[in-house]
Each structure stands twice: as structure tokens, then as C-alpha cells.
Structure 1
Amino acid sequence: MVLLWLRAPLAPVIFGSSCLLAILYRLSPAAFLSTIGQTLTDPATIELEIVLLLIMFLEYLLGKHGYLDRMLASLRNLLHNRRLLLAVLPALIGLMPSQGGALFSAPLVAQAAAGTPLTAEEKSFVNYFYRHIWEYCLPLYPSLLITARVCAIPLAKLIQALVPYALLVALLGIPVLRRIPVVRERGSTDYFQLTREVLLNLSPVLAVVLMVLALQVKMWAAVGLIVAVLLIRHRYTPSKALQLCREAVQVKTLILVLGIMFFKQIILATRAVDGLAYLLEMLAIPEFVIFGMFGFLVGLITGTVSYSMGIIFPVVVAAAGGQIDMPLVVFVFVAGFTGAMFTPMHLCLTLTVDFFKADLRKVLKMLILPEAALLTVAAALYAVFN
């Protein structure tokens, strides 16, 4: 975090931090090489790289053949409000619970924000912040399933308790959206035709969402199928497809993601997170604050909400004597979520900042107030209902 704050390049920092962590925990050379091998052969890493590669192809095809321009023109006339449009686009893509999905919505946000006074950092904030609105209430996200199962509480009750936070997220992003002048764009009032145009040009993206959500198709298979259909529809020859690869693929992004997955493997190999709970227990502060700090730090280190909850709640439940009430569950969940939102280990943040060529420090500063508000509300409600 310090090196990134000093504007050091992200990929070398992550790889260097992985090596430093291995040295600090005295990981043997054999174990270190084994961790590299596990990273390269881990099915989750391979699948993620394939998904991101296919998303790059899909993004390029949608832009090259005018799908995004036509969809945004129709949606702009349909919604009449550019602020609402910018919030809806990443939220729509956020229905897909996939790592790095912010790369999917980033070009949509970029197109919709064209001609507005939003900076690269503000565009990054909108894309990143509104993409995660559903993780508080959509049962397709593993974080909710893991939390409900470990804490032995009904999933429906957990979602009911977390829904207000999803609504709060929608409100907390408004100050950035208000930077956009309200301009009522006059156009066709044929809402049926406009809706048809939006759905038609958004159909490749909607098809992916529906396959993932309704049919439980793997993300890579869903995106791959749509890319194949588009290549056939636009009559790509093998030579044109090869040219597409050269123009669409961003090798730097793929290496960056590989570095993040390597860092996570190093964390597992060194068991670095395990000591946090014992360290925090030594502090003379209230128990719920310790749990919140533990959740925040685990989220900050891992950068993955679902992975964080799988580490946090087994420890918290055990420390609480095997039973944990809903206010504490919500507070710890929000604390872990907040930590995961503040770290470049979070793929969505890294990919978004990289896409918009934004200053990571400025984006993190913009996240402080809304995330602090979420955490404050969760802590206040815990104090009231506990």
C-alpha cells in the first residue's frame, strides 16, 4: 500500500510483496517454487485468465461494431438522466458474480461518461462502487452463502438484514454523480422502440448475464459462446480473428491478475492471516471492535469478499463461543467488505483503475467517506440492538 501510494507500478509491487512475505515467513525455496507452480496450474487462476481474455474480445467486438454506441444512445433517451445511466450500467453487470467483472462494465461507463466533466478517478469510482451494490443482497454471491452457512443463520434473514446497506450504497455514490450536469435530452418518445433498441444492442451482454444467472453456465463458457456468435455474425476469417487478438488482448492486465493470484497463494502457503486474530485479542478494546478490525484486515489483505468471509467467520464464531447474533454478523460482514473494497488486491479496483488510467490514490480517497459511512451505520446498529 505504501509503494502504491508512492505511485510505484502495480504489477512489480504485487510480485515484490509476495517475495517479501515469503522471506518474512521463511518459506523454503522448494515451497516458494511449489507456490509458483500452484498459481500457474490452479484451475481458478486459469479460468479467471480465460474469462478476462474473452471479456477483452467481447469488449472490443461490441465497441468495434457499434453495439455500445447504439445501446447508449437509446438508453440515454429512455432514461433521460445521465446520472442514473452511469449508476445503472455497472450495477447491471454486477448481477454477474465474477471476479474482475468490473472490466466488463468499464467500457460501458466510459462511453456513457463521454462529454461529462467526470475525471478518470470519478469514472473509476462509479464503475467500482456501483458494481458491488448487489453483493449485500444477491444470493448468487458466495460471500452471502458462506456467511449464512458458517454462522448457522437462514440465508433469507441474512439478506433481509443486509438489504439496507445495498440501498445505502446507491445513495452514497450520489455526490460523485451530481458532478454531472442534469440535461434532459430530448429525443424519440417511442419508448417501445427505444427499449427494443437497448435490448437488441445489449443482447450480447444480457445473454451472458442470463446464462450465468438463470442457466448456471460457467462465466468462461457464456462469454466464449457469445464471442463465437459475434465472430460468425460479423464474418471473421482466421486472419481477421488473429488481428482481433493483437488489437484486443492486454497482456499487462493478464500479468497483473496473475500477480494478484500469486499473492493469494503466498498468503495461503505462509498462513499469514492466521496470526491476526491472536494479535488483536491482546488489545484492550471491546470484543466487537476486535472482530471488526480482524474482518477489515483480512478483507484488506485478501481483496476478495467471499474468500474473506470464509476466513473471518469461522474465527469469529469460534471466538464468540459457537453462537453469533445477527447485529454482529452484519457488522463483521460490512467490516470485511469495507477492507476488501480498499485494497488493490481487489481485482475490480485494479482493473478499473488500469482501464481508466486513473490515480489509485485519488480513487481510494474517494472511497473513504462512503465506506466509513457504511461501517459507522453497521457499528451504530450493533450498539443499539446488542
Structure 2
Amino acid sequence: MLIWIGFSLAIILLLVISRRSLALGMAAAAVVLALFTLSPSQMGGALVTTFADPSILLLAFVVGLIPMIGGALEASGEMERLVANMRIGRRPFLALSPALLGMLPMPGGALLSAPLVERGATETPADIKAAANVWFRHALYLVYPLGPALIASAKIASLDVYRVIPFLTPALLLNLLLGYVFLLRRVDGRVGHSGRFSPAGLLVPLAIILAAPVLDLVVKRSFLLPYPEIGTAVGVMVSFIAAIVIGRLDRADIKQVAQKMRPWKFSLIILAMFVFLNVFRASTNINNLAARPMRRTNSII
């Protein structure tokens, strides 16, 4: 029964604290779970397993750097240039512009793409624009190989991200179909722009965004890496450096981007997630929970 109490308290803490901080919630849950199921030496072993694993550290670095790319593109104006040069119909614009911006997760990201969508589709009803912005911004999360949720879950399951994507594609297609039927079907016309079309304004920021996943795939398929996350780190670093150089950002600009994006929060989530996972794996009693009868008093907890 003590094991069930510890497990239940850990889950409750995770659900409650994660409403304010997911990293803190997972760390607190890991501590409580360890106190009920592990000895001090086992608890230390779980921590060492996490922080001594280069693949986990690389993953935390990558997930922290991805929002910095979006922040650099925003600070340099490249993000706005990208959207301003998308000379397409309103339907694909309402789907594509938030989806592209959603490839670079950042705090308050939907608030960033909202004004860009607003300016590009001025005659579209406000409720349609708001709903489409949120819906399609998260559409590519299912299959984007550098999406934090996808790469973290693939790592936990010991799966290659690119082998998982084909199985998630039907869900993406269903997502797009539902978005079209309920949001875009009655939208028509083309996006209105006042300035002249600039091929560089479209292709340069798009190349920066796509450089990370393309290099990730190329490096992983071209070299025998001791840790697959090295390829991901290379792609993300090249994309970030390109955003800085092309956007002509100096140290003060990068510091402001870091203060706004708070990349450490994303990295801490990954570290806390794997601490919790390794504590769970080290808890031999937890691994046998399914075989233990659960009393009615425990189910109430």
C-alpha cells in the first residue's frame, strides 16, 4: 500500500505543479517517487544515469536552442518578411503561415503569429482567423522531426524519429481535413499585400527554418554517429547561426532574444522528464505495480 501511496502522490504533484512549471512538476514527482521506492544510492544512480548520458544532454541543448531560432527570426524581422511574401490564396495562407511559425516553438507563439495572420487576411472573419491560427499552428507538431514533443517521446521509446513519422502522417491528414472542413471551407480570395514581392524575403527565412531538419536528416544518414542527437544539434546550431548572421544580430540582440524565449525552461523540461523516467525505471517495485492488487482505498487516492 505504501508503494501505491507514493506513486499516487507523485502523479498528483505532477498534475498540480505542472500547471505552473512542467519541469518543476516532473522534478517534484521524481523526488516523491524516489523517496517511496528507492534507496539513497539508487536515487543517486538515477540522477547519474540522466546527467551522465550525452544523448539526454544533447537533446536538452537542442530543445532549448530551437525557440532561439524563432526568436532570432522575429527580432530580425525575417519572420514578418516570410509571411509578407507568401502570395497565395487566403485558405492556404491561413493554414501555412501559422504552421510554418509553429515549427519554431516559443513562449506565447500563437500571439506572435496572430498579428501576421491578421494583416495577411484582413477580410476574413475574426473568429475564423483566431481559430485557424491556433489549429494549424500545432498541425505539424505531429510530424515535424524537430518538434520537442516528438523527439522527446521518440527518445523515450528508443525509436528513430524518421521511422515514426509515417505512422503519424494519417493523424496529420485528418487534422488538416478537419481544419479545412470547419475553418477554411468558406474562406475565399487572395491575401492582400501592399509591397512588392521579394523572392529573397520568402526563400531566405524559409531556408533558415528548413535547414535544421534537412541537416539533421543528412548528417544522421551520412555518418555513423555515437549519438543520433549529434545530427540534430548540428542542424539546429547551423540554423541558429544563420538566423544571427543573416539577421545581423549583435550580442545585445541575442541577449534580449534569450530573455524573451527563456530557452533554459525548455531544456529543464527535458532533463526533469528523464530524471522522472529513470527514477521510474529504477523503482523495481513500481515495475510490478500492474501485478499488485489495488485496494479500494488506494483507488480513491
1:204 to 202, 205, 208: 208
Aligned to 1:319: none
Change (3 A) 1:272 1:209: farther
Change (3 A) 1:121 1:185: closer
The number of residues matched between the two structures is 254
Deviation for aligned residue 1:184: 3.1
1:34 to 26, 45, 66: 45
Aligned to 2:242: 229
State the secondary structure of the residue aligned to 1:218: helix
Contact 2:89 2:191 survives alignment (8 Å): no
| Per-residue CA distance 1:170-225 (angstroms, 9 max, x = gap) | 334557x629983634436999x566642222110122222123443712111212
Aligned to 1:71: 82
State the secondary structure of the residue aligned to 1:72: helix
What is the identity, as a one-letter code, of the residue corresponding to 1:49? A
Contact 2:107 2:261 survives alignment (8 Å): no
What is the identity, as a one-letter code, of the residue corresponding to 1:182? V
1:18 to 21, 27, 30: 30
**1:265 matches 2:265:** no
Contact 1:39 1:262 survives alignment (8 Å): yes
Aligned to 2:73: 62
CA separation in 2, counterparts of 1:22 and 1:70? Answer: 50
Change (3 A) 1:130 1:118: farther
Contact 1:39 1:265 survives alignment (8 Å): yes
Deviation for aligned residue 1:132: 0.4
TM-align CA RMSD: 4.6
- Ranked by relative contact order (alpha carbons within 8 Å, sequence separation 6 or more), the top structure is 2
What is the identity, as a one-letter code, of the residue corresponding to 2:187? V
CA separation in 1, counterparts of 2:30 and 2:193? Answer: 55
Aligned to 1:80: 90
Change (3 A) 1:186 1:229: closer
CA separation in 2, counterparts of 1:53 and 1:174? Answer: 32
CA separation in 2, counterparts of 1:198 and 1:263? Answer: 42
1:182 to 176, 181, 187: 187
Q: Percent identity?
A: 19
Deviation for aligned residue 1:270: 1.6
What is the identity, as a one-letter code, of the residue corresponding to 1:167? L
Deviation for aligned residue 1:31: 0.9
State the secondary structure of the residue aligned to 2:267: helix
Change (3 A) 1:51 1:169: same
Deviation for aligned residue 1:32: 0.5
Aligned to 2:6: none
CA separation in 2, counterparts of 1:209 and 1:179? Answer: 28
Aligned to 2:113: 112
CA separation in 2, counterparts of 1:163 and 1:84? Answer: 17
CA separation in 2, counterparts of 1:34 and 1:147? Answer: 20
2:105 to 100, 103, 106: 103
Change (3 A) 1:170 1:8: closer
State the secondary structure of the residue aligned to 2:85: helix
What is the identity, as a one-letter code, of the residue corresponding to 1:168? L
* Higher deviation after alignment, 209-218 or 51-60: 209-218
What is the identity, as a one-letter code, of the residue corresponding to 1:202? L
Contact 1:21 1:266 survives alignment (8 Å): yes
5+ residue gaps, structure 2: 1-10, 119-125, 221-229, 295-301
Aligned to 1:170: 176
Deviation for aligned residue 1:59: 1.6
CA separation in 2, counterparts of 1:62 and 1:125? Answer: 22
CA separation in 2, counterparts of 1:39 and 1:172? Answer: 40
Deviation for aligned residue 1:61: 1.1
State the secondary structure of the residue aligned to 1:182: coil
Deviation for aligned residue 1:226: 2.6
